[in-house]
């Protein structure tokens, strides 16, 4: 019985292929867009989560110079307001888990005939802890390396690749600004940072070595930035307050005057970036859903035309014994078949499109089962919802009126 | 076989038009027993089709009672009426009313879809009937590829598929030439001999000659109801 009605619906669709195809197209585009948008959105959310967890959790970064004039001052160089003693004092604050003074820069690295310009981070071993960045092979340098300013280095994957190719860099000697450095360890892969830069294109050396031997700071002991990690995320606001108080006290800044440093909560920045991505992918999904809605309205439109056009057929069917529910089922099935097939094709196109996006732009896409299920569910619902009204209209025709219809 | 198939008392039917109620059937009463072959005659506009549509449960009377096979039709809901149209009544239209884009076999089998008969059986029964009406060569033809007489045979086969006890035919030969209509009438006669009650509308006297009884309509009333007088010529 149901099977026979399915056959009738199928026959009607076959009788008007072009129209069926065009109606289906609305569904195809709607579902395709939803799947594509959801995949891209989920991919973006996934990548940002990766980036955030690669950054390390519960992080502050302290910068020399006030936030309002920091941009100008950092350019002048040398006038760093933070120093290693500040960092050591902060380390004693409750809730602080790790600190790492940082002296960043960049330099030309030479190994044999190869040379490569990369970023240099002068810091302490605490940096690797704060950023949860272990070495993949070899060892890290220690506090005693920092104390005695030894010429040792940790190398990131990308820098190593460019200098050593596939060879093992651990134990090799490179030259940074003419000075030889022994590579102690190869860092594990970090990927892209929040700013989009490749974090693996780097070399990490002891802070003192950077200051005294590589970049030759005018004021040894002062640093441009300090990374601070707290024990938990909840404690960050209170640590922020005590850190500010401590530094103002240490720097003897009187009430009412501006700080001579600025404090950034990296975790909060990361969270808002993640939130922005989430909102963006929701928005994309919403826009795509509109096209699904339009597809549904297209189905309703065609079904209404079809009911009018087939009024006589409906009359004949009723005259030979079709009940209202038989007619209803026939037209409803037609709408559902169109939307389900359209949905299936749309699904394939959406997935194909998502893979193509990944291939062409390199952005990560994630085709989640949930988005597939949602798309299918929505398509079936749209089919029933928009198919029901025309089908009911057909079923409620009066047999004799329908038969008289010309 | 003297039980009542159609029992109509004081039937009225008016159409609502822009100019007000327009009465078409006035105080019609008719009694038809099982196995009868009745010809309904009358001038154009006398209300024959209106009457047949009511008999076929396609339209509702404005007043009066209609009992079909002992059931008071007025008390039946839409599903029950559909069931009557499906099982009890076989309706043959003047314009054939076959579904285009559907093979003859599928057209004939269509009523069976609505009473849950399996596909294989549907096809088998449709073929048997197409053979019976002499269309064994056209199972898979399309309705627009055969002649009017053949289309009317298909329509009759469709009306017969659920073994109805009553066949209603509104000018089944109206669109056919006299030779073809004689063939169609022979078909009705043989069905009637099998025990099926037949009510048939016609304008033509020689078509009406095939029936046992003639009912004449004039201006919405039955003015004459008599047994067919068989003349030499018609035999
Ligand atoms: N749907 C309708 N609305 C209004 N008036 C109608 C309708 N159908 C039929 N009529 C009128 O009812 C009257 C009877 O029509 P009916 O079709 O029953 O006549 P008939 O006897 O079958 O005629 P014919 O022999 O030409 O087929 C006619 O005057 C017609 O105009
Ligand atoms: Mg008529």
What is the reported pLDDT for A17?
87
What whole-number distance in Å separates Cα of residue A110 and Cα of residue A326?
A: 82
Q: Name the residue among B144, B117, B187 with its Cα closest to residue A321.
A: B117
* SS3 at position A95: coil
Which residue lies with its CA nearest to atom 25 of ligand 1?
B44
Chains A and B form CB pairs within 8 A to the count of 66
What is the reported pLDDT for B225?
94
Same-domain pairing of A281 and A303: yes
DSSP string covering A38-65? HHHHHHHHHHHHHHHHHH-SSEEEEEES
Q: Name the residue among A48, A55, A81, A50 with its Cα closest to residue A229.
A: A55
Residue A71 pLDDT grade (very low, low, confident, very high; cuts 50, 70, 90) = very low
What is the reported pLDDT for B164?
94
What is the reported pLDDT for A349?
93
What is the reported pLDDT for A79?
61
The arithmetic mean of pLDDT across residues B145-150, rounded, is 92
B58 lines ligand 1 (CB under 6 A): no
Neighbours of A5 (CB within 10 A): 22
- Angstrom distances, CA of residue A38 to CA of A26, A198, B34: 18, 27, 69
Residue A7 pLDDT grade (very low, low, confident, very high; cuts 50, 70, 90) = confident
The three-point CA angle A220-A225-A228 to 5° equals 120
**What digits encode the pLDDT tens for the residues A254-274?**
888 888 888 888 888 888 888
What is the reported pLDDT for A70?
41
Residue A309 lies in a domain: yes
CA distance A3 to chain B (A): 9
Please check whether residue A324 touches B, CB under 8 A: yes
What letter would DSSP give residue A113?
T
C-beta separation of B206 from B234 below 8 A: yes
What whole-number distance in Å separates Cα of residue B30 and Cα of residue B10?
A: 9
Q: Which of B52, B82, B93 to mutate to test the interface with A (most CBs of A within 10 A)?
A: B82
Q: Name the residue among A14, A24, A12 with its Cα closest to residue A299.
A: A24
**What digits encode the pLDDT tens for the residues A362-396?**
888 888 888 788 877 877 788 888 899 999 999 99
The arithmetic mean of pLDDT across residues B133-159, rounded, is 93
What whole-number distance in Å separates Cα of residue B112 and Cα of residue B125?
A: 9
Ligand 1 atom nearest the C-alpha of B51 is 18
Share of chain A above pLDDT 90, in %: 33
The arithmetic mean of pLDDT across residues A11-29, rounded, is 86
Q: Do B99 and A313 touch (CB under 8 A)?
A: yes
Same-domain pairing of A35 and A85: no
Task: Give B45 Cα–ligand 2 centroid separation in angstroms.
Answer: 7
Task: Tell me the average pLDDT of chain A.
Answer: 86
What letter would DSSP give residue B147?
-
Q: Do B114 and A322 touch (CB under 8 A)?
A: yes
Residue A12 pLDDT grade (very low, low, confident, very high; cuts 50, 70, 90) = confident
CATH of residue B9's domain is 3.40.50.300
B2 lines ligand 1 (CB under 6 A): no
What is the reported pLDDT for A26?
87
The arithmetic mean of pLDDT across residues B62-73, rounded, is 93
Ligand 1 atom nearest the C-alpha of A400 is 1
Same-domain pairing of A247 and A293: no
- Pocket-testing residue among B13, B21, B42, B49, ligand 1, by greatest number of atoms within 8 A of Cβ: B49
Same-domain pairing of A111 and A19: no
Whether the full predicted model's pTM is greater than 0.90, yes or no, is: no
- Angstrom distances, CA of residue A154 to CA of A117, A142, A161, A186: 15, 12, 13, 6
Residue A209 lies in a domain: yes
Same-domain pairing of A161 and A85: yes
Residue A61 lies in a domain: no
Contacts of A316 in chain B (CB under 8 A): 97, 99
Ligand nearest to the CA of B45: 1
- Pocket-testing residue among B11, B20, B24, ligand 1, by greatest number of atoms within 8 A of Cβ: B24
Please say which residue of A231, A259, A287 terminates a domain: A259
**What digits encode the pLDDT tens for the residues A83-100?**
888 888 998 999 998 899
Please say which residue of A259, A284, A306 terminates a domain: A259
- Angstrom distances, CA of residue A231 to CA of A58, A95, A129, A235, A362: 7, 5, 12, 7, 35
Same-domain pairing of A393 and A356: yes
What whole-number distance in Å separates Cα of residue A213 and Cα of residue A93?
A: 31
What whole-number distance in Å separates Cα of residue A293 and Cα of residue A306?
A: 20
B46 lines ligand 1 (CB under 6 A): yes
Same-domain pairing of A31 and A119: no
Run of H or E residues at B100? none
Same-domain pairing of A255 and A285: no
Residue A183 in tokens: 């590579």
Is the ipTM here above 0.90? yes
C-beta separation of B42 from B48 below 8 A: yes
Residue A139 lies in a domain: yes
Task: Tell me the average pLDDT of chain B.
Answer: 92
Residue B231 pLDDT grade (very low, low, confident, very high; cuts 50, 70, 90) = low
Which of B200 and A52 is assigned the larger pLDDT? Answer: B200
The arithmetic mean of pLDDT across residues A191-204, rounded, is 84
Same-domain pairing of A276 and A209: no
Number of domains in chain B: 1
Task: Give B25 Cα–ligand 1 centroid separation in angstroms.
Answer: 10
* SS3 at position B15: strand
Give the neighbor-by-neighbor strand order of the sheet with B213-218: B89-92, B166-170, B197-201, B37-41, B213-218, B221-227
What is the reported pLDDT for A75?
41
C-beta separation of B173 from B155 below 8 A: no
Please say which residue of A232, A259, A286 terminates a domain: A259
Would you say residue A72 has pLDDT above 70? no
Range of the domain at A326: 2-51+272-404
What letter would DSSP give residue A355?
H
Would you say residue A74 has pLDDT above 60? no
B44 lines ligand 1 (CB under 6 A): yes
What is the reported pLDDT for A216?
77
B47 lines ligand 1 (CB under 6 A): yes
**Exposed e or buried b for every residue in A260-282, given b needs 16+ CB within 10 A?**
bbbbebbbeebeeebeebeeebe
Same-domain pairing of A142 and A13: no
Ligand 1 atom nearest the C-alpha of B94 is 27
What is the reported pLDDT for A66?
62
Residue A124 lies in a domain: yes
The arithmetic mean of pLDDT across residues A333-339, rounded, is 89
Would you say residue B204 has pLDDT above 50? yes
Would you say residue B6 has pLDDT above 70? yes
Residue A243 lies in a domain: yes
Number of domains in chain A: 2
Same-domain pairing of A94 and A225: yes
Q: Do B58 and A399 touch (CB under 8 A)?
A: yes
The arithmetic mean of pLDDT across residues B68-76, rounded, is 92
The arithmetic mean of pLDDT across residues B207-231, rounded, is 91
Q: Which of A320, A323, A398, A402 to mutate to test the interface with B (most CBs of B within 10 A)?
A: A320
Q: Do B97 and A400 touch (CB under 8 A)?
A: no
Same-domain pairing of A225 and A88: yes
Which of B56 and A51 is assigned the larger pLDDT? Answer: B56
**What digits encode the pLDDT tens for the residues A302-335?**
889 999 999 999 999 999 999 999 999 999 998 8
The three-point CA angle A145-A150-A151 to 5° equals 130
What is the reported pLDDT for A27?
87
**What digits encode the pLDDT tens for the residues B19-67?**
999 999 999 999 999 999 999 999 999 999 999 999 999 999 999 999 9
Residue A301 lies in a domain: yes
Q: Do A319 and B162 touch (CB under 8 A)?
A: no
A99 Cβ contact list (under 8 Å, min separation 6): A87, A88, A90, A91, A124, A126, A130, A226, A227, A228, A229
Residue A267 lies in a domain: no
Which residue lies with its CA nearest to atom 3 of ligand 1?
B15
């Amino acid at each position: 019985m149901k099977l026979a009605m399915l056959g009738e619906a199928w026959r009607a669709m076959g009788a008007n292929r072009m129209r069926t195809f065009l109606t289906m197209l609305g569904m195809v585009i709607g579902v395709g867009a939803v799947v594509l948008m959801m995949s891209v959105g989920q991919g973006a959310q996934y990548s940002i989560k990766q980036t955030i967890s690669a950054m390390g959790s519960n992080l502050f970064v302290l910068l020399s110079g006030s936030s309002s004039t920091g941009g100008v001052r950092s350019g002048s160089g040398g006038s760093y307001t933070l120093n290693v003693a500040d960092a050591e004092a902060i380390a004693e604050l409750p809730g602080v888990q790790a600190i790492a003074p940082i002296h960043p820069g960049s330099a030309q690295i030479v190994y044999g005939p190869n040379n490569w310009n990369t970023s240099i981070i002068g810091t302490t071993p605490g940096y690797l802890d704060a950023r949860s960045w272990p070495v993949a092979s070899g060892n890290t340098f220690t506090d005693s390396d920092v104390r005695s300013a030894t010429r040792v280095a940790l190398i990131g994957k990308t820098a190593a690749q460019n200098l050593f190719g596939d060879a093992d860099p651990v134990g090799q000697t490179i030259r940074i600004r003419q000075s030889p450095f022994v590579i102690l360890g190869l860092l594990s892969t970090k990927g892209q940072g929040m700013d989009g830069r490749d974090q693996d294109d780097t070399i990490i050396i002891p802070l003192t070595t950077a200051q005294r031997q590589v970049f030759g700071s005018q004021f040894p002991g002062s640093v441009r930035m300090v990374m601070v990690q707290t024990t938990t995320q909840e404690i960050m606001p209170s640590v922020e307050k005590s850190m500010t108080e401590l530094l103002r006290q240490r720097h003897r800044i009187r009430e009412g005057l501006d700080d001579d440093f600025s404090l950034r909560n990296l975790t909060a920045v990361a969270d808002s970036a993640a939130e922005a991505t989430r909102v963006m992918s929701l928005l994309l999904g919403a826009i795509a859903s509109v096209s699904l809605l339009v597809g549904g309205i297209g189905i309703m439109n065609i079904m209404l035309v079809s009911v009018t056009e087939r009024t006589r057929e409906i009359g004949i069917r009723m005259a030979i014994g079709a009940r209202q529910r038989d007619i209803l089922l026939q037209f409803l099935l037609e709408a559902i078949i169109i939307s389900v097939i359209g949905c299936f094709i749309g699904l394939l196109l959406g997935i194909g499109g998502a893979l193509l996006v990944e291939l062409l732009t390199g952005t990560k896409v994630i085709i989640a089962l949930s988005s597939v299920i949602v798309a299918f569910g929505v398509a079936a619902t749209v089919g029933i919802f928009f198919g029901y009204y025309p089908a009911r209209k057909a079923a409620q025709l009066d047999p004799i009126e329908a038969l008289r219809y010309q | 076989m003297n039980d009542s198939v159609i029992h109509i008392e004081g039937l009225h039917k008016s159409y609502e038009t822009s100019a007000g109620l327009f009465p078409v059937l006035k105080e019609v009463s008719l009694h038809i027993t099982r196995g009868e072959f009745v010809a309904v005659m009358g001038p154009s506009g006398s209300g024959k089709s209106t009457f047949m549509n009511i008999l076929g449960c396609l339209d509702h009377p404005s007043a009066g009672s209609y009992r079909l096979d002992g059931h008071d039709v007025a008390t039946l809901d839409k599903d029950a009426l559909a069931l009557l149209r499906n099982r009890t009544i076989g309706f043959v239209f003047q314009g054939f009313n076959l579904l285009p884009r559907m093979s003859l076999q599928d057209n004939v089998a269509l009523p069976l879809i609505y009473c849950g008969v399996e596909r294989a059986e549907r096809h088998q029964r449709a073929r048997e009937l197409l053979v019976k009406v002499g269309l064994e060569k056209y199972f898979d033809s399309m309705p627009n590829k055969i002649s009017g007489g053949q289309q009317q045979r298909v329509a009759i086969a469709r009306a017969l598929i659920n073994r109805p006890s009553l066949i209603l035919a509104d000018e089944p030969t109206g669109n056919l030439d006299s030779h073809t209509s004689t063939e169609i009438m022979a078909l009705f006669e043989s069905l009637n001999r099998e025990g099926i009650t037949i009510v048939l509308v016609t304008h033509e006297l020689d078509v009406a000659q095939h029936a046992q009884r003639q009912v004449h309509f004039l201006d919405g009333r039955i003015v004459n109801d008599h047994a067919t007088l068989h003349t030499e010529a018609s035999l």
